[in-house]
Structure 1
């Protein structure tokens, strides 16, 4: 935390040290948990897949009736300046748009825009090699297509996860799988078809890239997936900006497939890492 306090943060038009970045208590993010955000990875000072993340950020803001105070081009310039100021080799950048300083603690006001950058540590080779365990929980987020700042349920379930030595919690609704608090979900069926939930999810950028990469080699389907089908899958894995692709080898204490990361999962991880390097190379030119 001490090292992060020396980083610069963008708050409503100004770049300030992190320890000087504050919002007033009347902000609806504090009063009611009202706001949206997005998060992307920067490697060698270059944002990855930024256009996709900005599109989703502006879409979330629109659906929550929060006007972004900058055009996309202006925001790109702000992001690049922040990345240059902090000079982190590998990092995560979070854009937060809040409900603003509300006079009555309920009605939105002019949104506040905060952008922060932090060092990023990706999953270790050992974790990828072993795979992870997850648990499930019945829950459906409000407005799943919006990347809201409300993570109450996911945070509340952290102690349940730790009690069961699980790394993530997978949501389902009426027996149908949806998503993780911060990740998307895939299964590989016996005929090597990749299936990912189609409804009541936030459509991740890594999910989009993995689907495109997988479609070059395998059949890819978006549809409902039952909880029972998950337990019978050949392989399962999650996708996210910060985790790329992580194999899942155990769900609710039940072993999935062989109990080891599957070959298709590991192959797609290599493909995704190669794609990231291609995008970086194109950005540098």
Structure 2
């Protein structure tokens, strides 16, 4: 596997060595933290569910009044070129669209597009088998339907998260849970219904796929979930591009279910892995 100094990136209209990619300090991403991004998992040279990620990327840009300088087809061509150059078996492809070089440090100008690809390590089998503890925090993200580059709250909470032994932080406001900084949230009720929050969330692509897979086996619901319901749930888990499905066994000081990963969570993880394998096989014509 090549080291990071041998990788390539798309930087302001050109493909360059990653260590030569630059952005001027006048960019609004630096001045005001203004921009959007998206993140695609590349497996065996194939970007999984790419059209879904591009849909969300362009929607985020539109909601933040930023024009993407490349068409969807042109972005796909860049991703294909980077995948060929970098030769990473499992990787994350990040598309970042910034507010551009602003003359007054506040007004968006021509957006800048950067695309990088770096190695990706998925959760270990041991972590999945044990499940993870999480903590809660009273918060709702600004414009949660947009995948912005503003992760200030999640980053600020890292020290508290580490001190508590929590793996992730679940946002909740007025006792209604929403999402994690980088993941979506699910519970499994005692009657076997798979439930995920409906509001104040970024609609994750893995969340979408898991809802579809769960609907083949279980009853599903998309609605508000109160924190007290979470504490009484049979199972809980999170979903994301980089983590797939991770079972949650503890929230704050409370144990969830039996304190071990549940059968629904584990079944859906296997279904999701199978779906990814099918995507790669279809792309390669196997």
TM above 0.5, one fold?
Answer: yes
TM-score, normalization: structure 1?
Answer: 0.99
Q: What does 1:115-264 align with in structure 2 at a 5 Å threshold?
A: 115-264=115-264
Instruction: Output the CA distance in 2 between the equivalents of 1:4 and 1:30.
Output: 23
Q: By how many angstroms is 1:87 displaced?
A: 0.7
Match of 1:97 in 2: 97
Q: Which runs of 5+ in 1 are unaligned?
A: none
Instruction: Output the CA distance in 2 between the equivalents of 1:139 and 1:33.
Output: 19
Instruction: Note the alpha carbon deviations across 1:212-271, whole angstroms, 9 max, x for none.
Output: 000001010000000111000000000000000000000002110000000000000000
Match of 2:267 in 1: 267
Q: By how many angstroms is 1:8 displaced?
A: 0.4
Match of 1:20 in 2: 20
Instruction: Note the alpha carbon deviations across 1:33-53, whole angstroms, 9 max, x for none.
Output: 000000010001110000000
Instruction: Output the CA distance in 2 between the equivalents of 1:82 and 1:3.
Output: 15
Instruction: Output the CA distance in 2 between the equivalents of 1:108 and 1:13.
Output: 18
DSSP-derived class of the 1:179 partner? coil
DSSP-derived class of the 2:221 partner? strand
Instruction: Output the CA distance in 2 between the equivalents of 1:128 and 1:29.
Output: 35
Instruction: Note the alpha carbon deviations across 1:169-220, whole angstroms, 9 max, x for none.
Output: 0001111000000000000000000110000100000000000000001010
Match of 2:9 in 1: 9
Q: What does 1:74-113 align with in structure 2 at a 5 Å threshold?
A: 74-113=74-113
The count of corresponding residues between Structure 1 and Structure 2 is 284
Q: By how many angstroms is 1:5 displaced?
A: 2.4
Q: By how many angstroms is 1:17 displaced?
A: 1.1
Match of 1:30 in 2: 30
Instruction: Output the CA distance in 2 between the equivalents of 1:19 and 1:120.
Output: 18
Q: By how many angstroms is 1:110 displaced?
A: 0.3
DSSP-derived class of the 1:195 partner? strand
Instruction: Output the CA distance in 1 between the equivalents of 2:256 and 2:89.
Output: 36
Instruction: Output the CA distance in 1 between the equivalents of 2:48 and 2:82.
Output: 15
Q: By how many angstroms is 1:4 displaced?
A: 1.3
RMSD (Å), alpha carbons: 0.8
Q: By how many angstroms is 1:12 displaced?
A: 1.4
Instruction: Output the CA distance in 2 between the equivalents of 1:31 and 1:105.
Output: 6
Q: By how many angstroms is 1:19 displaced?
A: 1.2
